[in-house]
Structure 1
């Protein structure tokens, strides 16, 4: 059994009631209580069983292709005058970090006797990862995706359908990730017995935020080992990741939470500008409330209606953040900043031109923050490259008139 995987921060982790400080919990309809309660009671026992861990680690190694490389980006390092490493989650099977979580949750669903899987997706990466593991295990798969995202992420829609998943458009609201999540929740309420909902981020009712962060913690676990081999130290000075709901960031932060000399920087999507009315910069604009089953920080009107988020990146236009992120933000353990569409697009193209790596537009938000930092030259910086930009080529080409 992987003992590092079991490690969880006492100070920054979840308590027995399902809260990270003031945030978390399970605010759910009565119809969902049996499902969520079954998960709450059994998830830790199941995922730490030796046979679960053996299969999980085997699939991460032989199917996903882990460990993902920690790449020294020499030309980016030279440009910014410090040492920059890219944690290459874009090289995973399916092209993003999402597969780490879907592998874990499909194994959990099997052990719970579930035969039907549902999921929500924004950029399509989580939908693809869910369709992938359902094909691997021979389970029915239904993916909810906003109508707007279906149009702008056509390659991922095709991949899901190729693997046998049914893609259902969400046609309400902004027709993006929030609305897809709403539709998936409705499905789960209507099919509580045979269906498992694979939530793609560190959001939703307890135990999902904790469970997903544990499955994604492989990112920071590997990073510590790789840095030790490379530099003699397990810890970088700075870790940067993009945040929508926040699963890649939580995985990237997880094993550094208690090392408070490591700066944790989370970059949200400012869209057309934080105060433009077309933004998804939750921590700058939001306040405490309940969204999709947990208490967190979310963008809302004075009377509590959810504000429609916006970002050029389909995976970051979510109106809230995961409750663990809300806790890290409120207690100043993490630095929550934002990057505009323009800043992210420029950073994405720069990474492509300097390193020959086209990042997902989500990941480009993390890269964009380098422009706003001042370095002494002695820092080591790890950036989570959460996904590859194949799915975003059409957006890049239209933006830059290529």
Structure 2
């Protein structure tokens, strides 16, 4: 099942709605992405860093205690939290920085919500000697102060964006404004599967290593494919990476989990946002609605265009989880398995707590633990105190 029907589009979703000068830059980016994505030397270097620097393959871990507690299907955790820098973000960042290097870029910009993409970007910019500026909503810099310090420690300049709600949407706004002004010497290392073409396709390409591995791992462990793959969705990078190698396997349910106060796939309408078309939460005047999630990385009024298409054609399911359920899942996984998940990942865990008991014990589900919860411990402590 090929989800890309024409260049940059997934059904009616995707595309590129940007100023002419910026479109020329995106066309050059796409040309280089198409040139290198299947290049033998490029992929040899990428997988070298995946193995030697990131620590891939990430384990597919049977959460035996949690499985026994819940009954029903076996719960396997795809442990992206064990990657260097603590999340799935490093996969895409490494791919894009190697592309930036081949394009001769010297300056890199990025947006970040929870800070994990910012930390990963600052990490590779440090390694490859590139100037790095990270845009982050002012509210998120307060929620994720530790990650701000990590980015600065790695040599990045962190710019707090004060407009609007001071969250992820505003960080993306600021990053695109920078790119429009400085496109001639700047590489925008976008962190999620959103934005104008070719960003969604690039991010999926570099994140699909998650499902490439998990498919091979589950077949080795169980001898068959899982009943479902579950991942949290904000913009949707870890989810599209988790789904990619199962899209053609129509017996495998693909389940994305959104915050109930930022549920663009459940409550949004098809519209344009940040230069592409997707399901968007917006008011009657067409302005993006305010969103809220205790997980800063999911606090976005839109979603990736491929997720929008998978929802429209019924290939993937998208459900919502409340903040209370997220906090409960955060505690349950910590206590049952000794794994403290990111609040983003806790959305997927929360749905798995509901799903597993409804399935047969001879079935399995894969839940992507997209990041570790170190960054969230202080926030959760304050919320529960």
- Alignment TM-score, normalising by the size of structure 2: 0.98
User: Which sits farther off after the overlay, 81-90 or 364-373?
Assistant: 364-373
1:395 positional shift: 1.4
Deviations, residues 144-192 of structure 1 (Å, cap 9, x unaligned): 0000000010111111000100000110011000000000000001101
1:172 counterpart = 2:153: no
1:371 positional shift: 3.6
Whether the 8 Å contact between 2:192 and 2:203 is mirrored in structure 1 is yes
1:323 paired residue among 301, 305, 326:
305
Q: In the aligned structure 1, how far is the partner of 2:363 from the partner of 2:324?
A: 27
1:378 positional shift: 2.3
User: Which sits farther off after the overlay, 368-377 or 183-192?
Assistant: 368-377
Deviations, residues 54-104 of structure 1 (Å, cap 9, x unaligned): 100000000000000110000111122120000000000000000000000
Can you give the 5+ residue segments of structure 2 that lack an aligned partner in the other structure? none
2:334 paired residue among 352, 361, 364:
352
Deviations, residues 222-280 of structure 1 (Å, cap 9, x unaligned): 001111221222x211100000000000000000000000000000011xxxxxxxx10
1:372 positional shift: 3.1
Q: In the aligned structure 1, how far is the partner of 2:236 from the partner of 2:63?
A: 24
Whether the 8 Å contact between 1:298 and 1:321 is mirrored in structure 2 is yes
Match of 1:368 in 2: 350
1:195 paired residue among 186, 190, 194:
186
Match of 1:64 in 2: 54
Matched ranges for 1:1-400 at <5 A? 9-10=1-2, 12=3, 14-81=4-71, 82-233=73-224, 235-270=225-260, 279-373=261-355, 374-400=358-384
RMSD value, Cα: 0.9
1:400 positional shift: 2.1
Whether the 8 Å contact between 1:213 and 1:247 is mirrored in structure 2 is yes
- Alignment TM-score, normalising by the size of structure 1: 0.94
Whether the 8 Å contact between 1:106 and 1:133 is mirrored in structure 2 is yes
Q: In the aligned structure 2, how far is the partner of 1:169 from the partner of 1:351?
A: 32
Q: In the aligned structure 2, how far is the partner of 1:65 from the partner of 1:238?
A: 26
The aligned length equals 382
Q: In the aligned structure 2, how far is the partner of 1:88 from the partner of 1:156?
A: 20
Whether the 8 Å contact between 2:111 and 2:172 is mirrored in structure 1 is yes
User: Which sits farther off after the overlay, 279-288 or 62-71?
Assistant: 279-288
Q: In the aligned structure 2, how far is the partner of 1:46 from the partner of 1:16?
A: 20
Can you give the 5+ residue segments of structure 1 that lack an aligned partner in the other structure? 1-8, 271-278
Whether the 8 Å contact between 2:352 and 2:367 is mirrored in structure 1 is no
User: Which sits farther off after the overlay, 135-144 or 222-231?
Assistant: 222-231
Whether the 8 Å contact between 1:177 and 1:317 is mirrored in structure 2 is yes
Q: In the aligned structure 2, how far is the partner of 1:309 from the partner of 1:301?
A: 12
What SS does structure 2 have at the residue aligned with 1:399? helix
Q: In the aligned structure 1, how far is the partner of 2:322 from the partner of 2:263?
A: 9
Q: In the aligned structure 2, how far is the partner of 1:41 from the partner of 1:52?
A: 15
